[in-house]
Amino acid sequence: MNLESTRGEYVVSTDRRRLDLERIHDFLRASYWSPGIPRHVVERAIDNSLCFGVYRGMEQVGFARVVTDKATFAYLADVFILDGHRRRGLATWLVEVIRSHPDLQGLRRFLLATRDAHALYRRCGFTEVACPGRLMEISDPRGYDPIA
C-alpha cells in the first residue's frame, strides 16, 4: 500500500514507481556517506528497503529509505533534500512522515548515522546512542568492490 503526505506544493510518497533512480544515484554517489556507490548497489538497496520520495510536482527533490524488519528494528539511511529545496523544513517533515509510517510503529530500536545533521534528527526524536559500548560494526574499507 502506497502512502502519501502533502505539505503545500510538496508530497512525500512511498510509491516506488515515482522514484527517479538516476537522480537518487547521482546524489548518493557524490555524498560523503556513499561516494562512488555503483548504480546496481543503489537499486538493490532500494529494492530491499521501505522508500520515501519527496516531490514537487513530477520532480523528485528528496529521498530517504528505511531498512527494517517492521517489528523490532529500523535503520534510517540515505536521507537527502536537493539544494534548491533546502531550508524549507522538508527534511524534518520527511523524517516525521517516516516516523509516523504504520510499518514503523512499536519498534524497539530505530537507528541512523550522521556526520552533520544531529540537530535535525534531535528535532525528530532521535538521541545519541545511550550505550555506545553495546554497538559494534564490521567496516570494509574496500567499499563497494565485489568480493573476489
**How would you label 45-60 residue by residue, b for 16+ Cβ within 10 Å and e otherwise?**
bbeebbbbbbbbeeeb
- Output the nine-digit C-alpha cell for 105: 510503529
How far apart CA 99 and CA 44 sit, in angstroms, is 23
* Per-residue pLDDT tens digits for 106-140: 999 999 999 999 999 999 999 999 999 999 999 88
pTM: 0.93
- All domains of the chain, ordered by start, with CATH? 4-134 (3.40.630.30)
Query: In the predicted model, what is the mean pLDDT of residues 35-54?
Result: 97
CA-based nearest residue to 52, from 83, 95, 110, 23:
95
